[in-house]
């Protein structure tokens, strides 16, 4: 399971970087989303995978006696997903607006303010 | 010492944002309220700084969970100083924005977003664990996205596209770094990580993690190979927005670098040379970029990069004296850079252009005002006894102490380039005769505005100029503060002790 | 979409989903659920309604501008956050009422916070959605 996740994370990062290097704005955002999700999976993996042991104590217990899944990476990922959702939806709206104003999807054509020094 | 004071600046800005959201669309009320609330926020920041200075590190644990398990907010002298500077810049920008911004921008929620941006900054300066720092970073960048794109002109959108995409990339790198830190140490609290990371045998992995953080923060603080978004984005929004960006946004990245690389990855033989090389190159590329520009805003954008290099240089030397110089420079730079962008906004309003070849005659037409504008411009260069002077003395002294002659050369050359640029601006904008100024495309000229608005634009410049005069003339106070900060940064024991308390003795 | 089946279904789905969102909100303290998910489900309910009947109809049944839900929700969250200050406890500490309420269970300041989140999420999602679909 760990090995599968490792390859999946590597694939997501590779795909994300490949998409980032394209010249189209839309593909760039897809790349960023892939990278963000890859990072989330990485945290999930590094928090150690434990199957079937939720970190909930039985009634009357004071400490864990059993091995249990670490709840912190999950909380961290949840927060990161929510933040990523906000940022990505902003970026998508921005792309739409840029496309409307500039009428191009090519990142190389976004340099009009650079050329006049 | 456990109390709620540490969290008060953040909560207050949050409340300010809510109050202003309720006044959606009522422009006059929003302006007055924003200035008032910023004033109170400065008061809170002074209170917090005073308490931290006198009673030592203040901590509050959200939800009554002790660190390292809960989220802790830590106010040491460094954090409290940054909060104070952020609230001062926030006050100045809020006034300047009330005077200069056009109605349409305010209607789309400029003021609430400004206060959320300040909330994010203060949260980041007070955050006690790395993930919390990430969350506050995101609060800051999402507010900055909105501020940058408000108005939606073509130029702005082009700049915003680059800014947004690089910041998203930096955030995801930051997240990867957090994942590694958690995997290595099993904790996210700064103090706890500091204790545990020292015991990890696999130093290569620790250095790789440090490298990831360096790139993530490097993108945000615009250091040498990663700065290209800054000159593309910072000159596009209105002056009030550029001012808060130029003063505080890149400094947030620098603050995080300093915080993480002293507490978590302190004193590594791999990172020292990296910092030095990057700092030197940042100074040179930023300074030379500034020389080429014709627009005032773009010039100042490149100067930000150049001066980030100074702070990084002090950090690259990693002696107590050099870090003291770097912290002094950070304090001076926040005030001056905020002021510079407001100055260029004022010049734009007065003449209808910010191209320095077209401008001219400012001194002939507005002698007193020009003298006022001279203060921040020449503090930037570091004319003695203005504020930039002292920090450079300490930086060069620190460099001599640690025999980093490459960095000393870079600092001197960078100062010279800054002098050249500021001299050029002074000659072209203030002393040269003005010939056929172009007509202003949109908005009113300065002399057509109401007296109240004109005052609202000039007063914040005067206010920040007097703060930088105080930093220069009352340097002994600032030296005392920066000496305390640098000794705190070099010796992290008291910080760790204060955060973890008595748990430090337990295995 | 002018499909009769979809309209009829959305008539039933709207109250059902809203009830389900409140159920999620209330069970969120110990079990999966909570303000964020509840808010998303509630905004989903309005979304389906707007697909079936059009935006103007949906705006009419919501009555308030969803943008105004945001400051209200934020204010609730802030109140829940600073309420422990008045008892001398740190920020965001959960304060619990001693007696559980009928149907709802134990009530705390955490629930107020969650209701705040619920309102903010509805407000934000609907604002995003309305502005996207109006500009198309």
Question: Are C90 and B24 within 8 A, CB to CB?
Answer: no
- Is residue B2 helix, strand or coil? strand
How many contacts does B have with C, using Cβ atoms within 8 A? 38
Distance in Å, alpha carbon of B392 to nearest chain A alpha carbon: 30
The Cα B219–Cα B169 span in angstroms is: 9
C132 in contact with chain A, both atoms CB, cutoff 8 A: yes
Q: Which of A81, A83, A89, A90 to mutate to test the interface with C (most CBs of C within 10 A)?
A: A89
| Residues β-bridged to residue B61 | B72
Each of the 507 residues of chain B gets a pLDDT tens digit; together they read 457 788 899 999 999 999 999 988 888 899 999 999 999 999 999 999 999 999 888 888 887 787 778 888 999 999 999 999 999 999 999 999 998 888 878 888 899 999 999 999 999 999 988 999 999 999 999 999 999 888 778 888 888 888 999 999 999 999 999 999 998 888 888 888 888 888 888 888 888 899 999 999 999 998 888 888 888 888 888 889 999 998 898 899 999 999 988 888 876 667 778 888 999 999 999 999 999 888 888 899 999 999 999 999 988 888 889 999 999 999 999 999 999 999 988 888 888 777 888 887 888 888 888 888 888 888 888 888 888 888 889 999 999 988 888 899 999 999 999 999 999 998 888 888 877 666 655 667 777 778 888 888 899 999 999 999 999 888 899 999 999 999 988 888 888 888 887 554 443
Distance in Å, alpha carbon of B175 to nearest chain A alpha carbon: 6
- Is residue B127 helix, strand or coil? strand
Distance in Å, alpha carbon of B11 to nearest chain C alpha carbon: 8
Is the CB of residue B288 less than 8 Å from the CB of residue B303?
no
Question: Are B168 and A91 within 8 A, CB to CB?
Answer: yes
Nearest CA in chain B to A28: B165
- pLDDT for residue B386: 84
Distance in Å, alpha carbon of B160 to nearest chain A alpha carbon: 8
Neighbours of B68 (CB within 10 A): 22
The Cα A6–Cα B179 span in angstroms is: 13
Q: What is the pTM of this model?
A: 0.92
Rg value, chain C, Cα: 17
Question: Are A90 and B135 within 8 A, CB to CB?
Answer: no
Distance in Å, alpha carbon of C73 to nearest chain B alpha carbon: 9
- pLDDT for residue A18: 95
What does the pLDDT average to over C102-129? 87
| Residues β-bridged to residue B58 | B75
List helix spans (H) across chain C.
4-27, 35-53, 55-62, 69-82, 109-135
CB < 8 Å to A5, chain B: none
CB < 8 Å to B63, chain C: 90-94
Architecture of domain A2-51+69-109: Orthogonal Bundle (1.10)
- Counting as low any pLDDT under 70, the low residues of chain A are 113-117
End-to-end alpha carbon distance in chain A: 53
Q: Give phi and psi for A52, each to the nearest 5.
A: 75, 20
What sign results for the dihedral spanned by CA atoms B403, B406, B410, B416?
Answer: positive
A46 in contact with chain C, both atoms CB, cutoff 8 A: no
Question: Are C91 and B60 within 8 A, CB to CB?
Answer: yes
What residue ranges do the domains of chain C occupy? 4-135
DSSP string, C61-91: HH-S-GGGHHHHHHHHHHHHHHGGGGGT--T
Q: So what's the ipTM on this one?
A: 0.92
Q: Which of B141, B143, B172, B294 to mutate to test the interface with A (most CBs of A within 10 A)?
A: B172
Residue B438 is given by DSSP the state P
Is the CB of residue A46 less than 8 Å from the CB of residue B183?
yes
* Spatial CB neighbours of B480, under 8 Å, sequence gap ≥ 6: none
Strands (E), B392-480: none
- pLDDT for residue B365: 81
- pLDDT for residue B409: 92
Nearest CA in chain C to A78: C36
Is the CB of residue C109 less than 8 Å from the CB of residue C84?
yes
Query: How is residue B75 written in tokens?
Result: 């106010």
Question: Are A82 and C36 within 8 A, CB to CB?
Answer: yes
The Cα C128–Cα B145 span in angstroms is: 16
Place of tokens 């906004």: B345
Surface-to-core class of residue A66, CB atoms within 10 Å of its CB (0-12 exposed, 13-18 middle, 19+ buried): exposed
A104 in contact with chain C, both atoms CB, cutoff 8 A: no
- pLDDT for residue B433: 80
CB < 8 Å to C84, chain B: 64
The partner residue sitting opposite B160, judged by closest CB among A83, A94, A112, is: A94
Distance in Å, alpha carbon of A60 to nearest chain B alpha carbon: 21
Distance in Å, alpha carbon of C62 to nearest chain A alpha carbon: 23
Q: H helices then E strands: how many in chain A?
A: 4, 0
The Cα B460–Cα B95 span in angstroms is: 6
- pLDDT for residue C39: 94
Measured CA to CA in angstroms, residue B469 lies from A43, B247, B382, C60 at distances of 48, 17, 12, 58
Surface-to-core class of residue B19, CB atoms within 10 Å of its CB (0-12 exposed, 13-18 middle, 19+ buried): buried
C95 in contact with chain B, both atoms CB, cutoff 8 A: no
Question: Are A93 and C132 within 8 A, CB to CB?
Answer: yes
- DSSP collapsed to 3 states, B275-309: HHHHHHHHHHHHHHHHHHCCEHHHHHHHHHHHHHH
A93 in contact with chain C, both atoms CB, cutoff 8 A: yes
Question: Are B2 and C92 within 8 A, CB to CB?
Answer: no
Query: How is residue B344 written in tokens?
Result: 């260029």
Is the CB of residue B296 less than 8 Å from the CB of residue B422?
no
The partner residue sitting opposite A36, judged by closest CB among B131, B172, B183, is: B172
- pLDDT for residue B438: 66
The per-residue pLDDT for range C42-82, each reduced to its tens digit, is: 999 999 999 888 888 888 988 888 888 999 999 999 999 88
Place of tokens 């999700």: A37
Nearest CA in chain B to C80: B63
Neighbours of A103 (CB within 10 A): 8
Surface-to-core class of residue C134, CB atoms within 10 Å of its CB (0-12 exposed, 13-18 middle, 19+ buried): exposed
A6 in contact with chain B, both atoms CB, cutoff 8 A: no
Question: Are B158 and A46 within 8 A, CB to CB?
Answer: no
């Amino acid at each position: 399971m760990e090995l599968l996740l490792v390859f999946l994370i590597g694939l997501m990062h590779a795909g994300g970087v490949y998409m980032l290097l394209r010249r189209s704005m839309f593909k760039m955002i897809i790349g960023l989303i892939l990278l963000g999700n890859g990072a989330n999976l990485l945290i999930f993996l590094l928090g150690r995978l434990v199957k079937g042991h939720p970190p909930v104590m039985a009634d009357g217990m004071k400490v864990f006696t059993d091995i249990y899944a670490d709840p912190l990476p999950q909380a961290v990922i949840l927060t990161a997903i929510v933040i990523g959702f906000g940022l990505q939806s902003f970026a998508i709206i921005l792309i739409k607006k840029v496309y409307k104003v500039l009428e191009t999807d090519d990142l190389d054509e976004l340099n009009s303010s650079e050329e006049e020094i | 010492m456990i109390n709620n004071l540490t969290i008060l600046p953040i909560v207050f800005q949050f409340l300010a944002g809510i109050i202003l959201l309720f006044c959606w669309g009522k422009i006059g009320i929003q302006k007055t309220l924003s200035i008032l609330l910023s004033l109170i926020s400065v008061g809170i920041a002074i209170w917090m700084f005073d308490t931290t200075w006198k009673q030592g590190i203040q901590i509050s644990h959200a939800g009554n969970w002790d660190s390292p398990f809960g989220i802790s907010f830590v106010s040491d002298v460094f954090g409290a100083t940054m909060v104070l500077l952020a609230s001062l810049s926030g006050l100045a920008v809020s006034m300047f924005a009330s005077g200069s911004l056009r109605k349409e921008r305010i209607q789309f929620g400029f003021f609430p977003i400004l206060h959320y941006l300040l909330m994010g900054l203060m949260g980041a300066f007070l955050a006690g664990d790395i993930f919390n720092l990430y969350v506050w970073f995101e609060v800051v960048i999402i507010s900055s996205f909105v501020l940058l794109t408000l108005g939606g002109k073509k130029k702005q959108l082009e700049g915003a596209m680059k800014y947004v995409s690089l910041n998203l990339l930096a955030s995801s790198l930051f997240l990867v770094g957090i994942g590694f830190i958690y995997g290595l140490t099993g904790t996210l609290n700064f103090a706890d990580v500091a204790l545990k990371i020292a015991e990890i045998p696999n130093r290569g992995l620790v250095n790789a993690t440090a490298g990831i953080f360096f790139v993530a923060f490097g993108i945000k603080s615009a250091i040498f190979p990663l700065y290209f978004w800054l000159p593309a984005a910072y000159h596009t929004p209105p002056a009030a927005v550029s001012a808060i960006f130029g003063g505080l946004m890149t400094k947030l990245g620098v603050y995080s670098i300093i915080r993480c690389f002293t507490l978590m990855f302190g004193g590594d033989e791999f990172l020292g040379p990296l910092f030095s090389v990057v700092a030197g190159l940042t100074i040179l590329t930023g300074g030379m970029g500034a020389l080429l520009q014709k627009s005032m805003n773009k010039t100042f954008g490149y100067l930000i990069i150049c001066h980030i290099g100074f702070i990084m240089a002090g950090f690259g030397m990693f002696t107590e004296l050099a870090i003291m110089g770097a912290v002094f420079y950070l304090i001076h730079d926040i005030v001056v850079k905020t002021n510079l962008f407001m100055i260029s906004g004022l010049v734009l309003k007065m003449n209808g252009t910010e191209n320095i070849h077209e401008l001219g005659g400012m001194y002939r037409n507005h002698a007193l005002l020009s003298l006022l504008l001279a203060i921040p411009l020449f503090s930037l260069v570091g004319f003695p006894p203005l504020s930039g002077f002292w920090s450079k003395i300490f930086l060069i002294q620190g460099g001599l102490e640690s025999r980093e002659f490459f960095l000393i050369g870079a600092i001197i050359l960078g100062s010279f380039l800054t002098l050249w640029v500021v001299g050029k601006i002074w000659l072209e904008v203030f002393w040269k005769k003005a010939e056929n100024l172009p007509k202003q495309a949109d908005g009113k000229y300065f002399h057509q505005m109401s007296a109240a608005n004109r005052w609202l634009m000039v007063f914040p410049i005067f206010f920040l100029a007097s703060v930088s005069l105080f930093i220069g003339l009352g340097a002994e106070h600032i030296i005392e503060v920066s000496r305390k900060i640098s000794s705190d940064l070099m010796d992290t024991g008291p910080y760790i002790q204060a955060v973890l308390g008595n748990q430090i003795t337990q295995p | 979409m002018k499909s009769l089946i979809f309209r009829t279904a959305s008539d039933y789905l709207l109250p059902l989903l809203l009830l389900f969102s409140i159920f999620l909100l209330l069970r969120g303290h110990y079990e999966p659920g909570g303000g964020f998910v509840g808010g998303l489900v509630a905004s989903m309910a309005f979304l389906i309604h707007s697909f079936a009947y059009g935006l103007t109809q949906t705006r009419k049944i919501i009555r308030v501008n969803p943008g105004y839900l945001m400051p209200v929700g934020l204010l609730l969250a802030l109140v829940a956050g600073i309420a422990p200050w008045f008892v001398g406890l740190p920020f965001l500490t959960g304060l619990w009422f001693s007696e559980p309420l009928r149907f709802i269970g134990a009530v705390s300041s955490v629930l107020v916070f969650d209701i705040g989140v619920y309102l903010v999420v509805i407000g934000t999602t609907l604002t995003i959605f309305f502005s996207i679909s109006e500009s198309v």
